[in-house]
Structure 1
Amino acid sequence: MALKRNFQSLETFSMSSMTDVIFLLLIFFMVTSTIIFPAAIDVNLPQSSEQTSLKPVTEVYIDADKTIYLVEDRNDSTQTLSSPVEISLDELAVRLTAIQQKDSLRSVALYADSLVDYGKVVGILDMAARQNLKMVLATKAKAPASQN
């Protein structure tokens, strides 16, 4: 005796589970793409109308108290974050030399508070230039002028 199965193929395809997966992926990418690692040092940057798209891996911070901090390796591609380390001016020179020997094409960002003396900023820029490092002075975007 041959048993016959009553199986009928559906002519419609249910997309509800696939749309659920798409929405979950959309939410996941929206949440993970907006994660920004703020600097641990509170620095009030001066304003500038020109901005660069260069993303330096090494960062030097000078806060309003003229304390120097260094982040040697901030890698955006793997989202690893090394915390800022307080260092002296002499130690900064030694670390910049080591950074240049490791990677001569590396650029260094300088985040100096707007209250820091101009001479101190130029001194650190000069120190990096003597090591043949590319130095970027970080600023915040200037607010657009309102038109009357």
Structure 2
Amino acid sequence: MVIAVVTGVLAAIGFGAAVAASARERSRDSALLLALGARRKQVTRTMAAEQALLVALGGAVGLGLGTLLVHLIVPFVVLTPAARRPTPGALIELPFGQALLLTAAIAVVPLLSAFLIGRRRRDVAARLRHVEEM
């Protein structure tokens, strides 16, 4: 259980860092959209929806691959004290509800960071000048 929690924390940190990096990269686009007349709420919602979609897809793929790997690998690593395969074979019970809850808990960190980063108020002209200098 400790390994699952630590893995979840590391995944949440990785997701959060990816969202923060993506928000920095998208600041030019959002500054341009704001300069063209888009409302700040629209830009924030669009960025948050994009990040939510990416996090949901990543969580679903991770949950699916994790389930597949558990069913493929566990029967080969479970041995008796005599280092033989048990008879009958290992029974794999993956608590899907707990795995889904852990996936949702991991997804909270990047979604929260996407909403908080999108709410920052910065000067649009200064961001556009920074883009010009690059």
Larger radius of gyration: 1
Structure (1 or 2) with the greater strand fraction: 1
Task: With the length of structure 2 as denominator, give the TM-score of the two structures.
Answer: 0.26
Larger fraction in helix: 2
> Please, what TM-score do these two structures have when normalized by structure 1?
0.24
Tell me which of the two structures has the higher relative contact order, counting C-alpha pairs closer than 8 angstroms and 6 or more residues apart. 2
